[in-house]
Homo-oligomer: A and B are copies of this chain.
Amino acid sequence: MTGRHVLALSGGVGGAKLAAGLAAILSPGELTIVVNNGDDFEHLGLTICPDIDSVTYALADLNDTERGWGVKDETWQAMVMLRDLGEADWFNLGDRDMAMHIARSWRLRAGETLSQVTSRLTRSLGIAHAIVPMSDAPLRTQVGTADGWLDFQRYFVAEQCRPVATGVRFAGAPGTPPSPAFMAALAREDLGAIVVCPSNPYLSVDPILAVDGVREALAARRVPLVAVSPLVGGTSLKGPLAKLLGELGKPVGNASIAGHYGALLDHLAIDIADAADAASLQRSGLNVIVTPTVMRNTRDREQLAQTVLAAAGLNGGWIRV
């Protein structure tokens, strides 16, 4: 017997949109959102979890949709003052966003786990669905460059993805256990589908797969795994995926996404702009859904969430919010 519970794996902004779409049509008991925290880092004494924050802000309807990241109606007074005080300014910290980092950091220092802090803070913001870090232990995504291995935020923000990537690695893996709620979701009797949100496979999803036992658990799954491709019109909508694919010697296209996930993948949702990719992907044995994947608003997010769940065989009865 398979059930209706959905396990979603998400990175930051793109993934967060689909996660919010899923949260809009599934009840809190029907969804566990596991978020990449390989991007987490310590900065000015604060523990910053960019992907957890992106998912949190999206579900709390606090995300800035114009800027594409961070909190809406954000101000930058603390950042200006930090600069005046001679502190590092390569990572932008908004005033409202800063409150999240302060709250998280002091509670982590007080002994709470990242899972506990995340649960506490998301609930405080009125989020009923479970947002779960992939692990409570640090696993750190690093990008290989001519200058050596760079921590993710150094590569992504400080260097703005300019260095040519020679590889991606996850410091701490193996040896990083899944968070309790991630482990519990993987083992649920009523699991009905696993959804890989449209996040960068190398930088945002692979860290989740690098957590101890996750790849094995997904390989042994008894429920469909549906991924949404982060490529649109043959390139990345945002972020360094297209550049990274090229540097890693892979064609920039959905065949590379499908090839990367390999046997873990049952269904791949690709954008209507890439409909031409469908035939060859299907010949390789994959179920392909051609559907609009660009999520500009709430309706787009919910529509894509419905399509993805339908592909997984979880049809109908979704509560529209």
Say yes or no: is A103 at the interface (Cβ < 8 Å to chain B). Answer: yes
Which residues in window 76-120 of A have CB below 8 A to B? 77-82, 84-87, 94-100, 102-103, 105-106, 109-110, 120
Q: Which of B79, B80, B96 meets A81, CB within 8 Å?
A: B96
Contacts of A95 in B (CB 8 A): 75, 77-78, 81, 95, 98
Closest to A106 in B: B45
Tell me the count of chain A residues lying within 8 A, CB to CB, of chain B.
33
Say yes or no: is A44 at the interface (Cβ < 8 Å to chain B). Answer: yes
Contacts of A310 in B (CB 8 A): none
Interface on A for B, CB 8 Å cutoff?
A: 44-46, 71, 74-75, 77-82, 84-87, 94-100, 102-103, 105-106, 109-110, 120-121, 124-125
22 pairs of residues in contact across A and B, judged by CB atoms under 8 Å? A44-B102, A45-B109, A75-B75, A77-B77, A77-B94, A77-B99, A78-B78, A78-B99, A80-B99, A81-B98, A82-B99, A82-B102, A84-B99, A84-B125, A85-B121, A85-B124, A85-B125, A86-B120, A86-B121, A87-B102, A95-B98, A98-B102
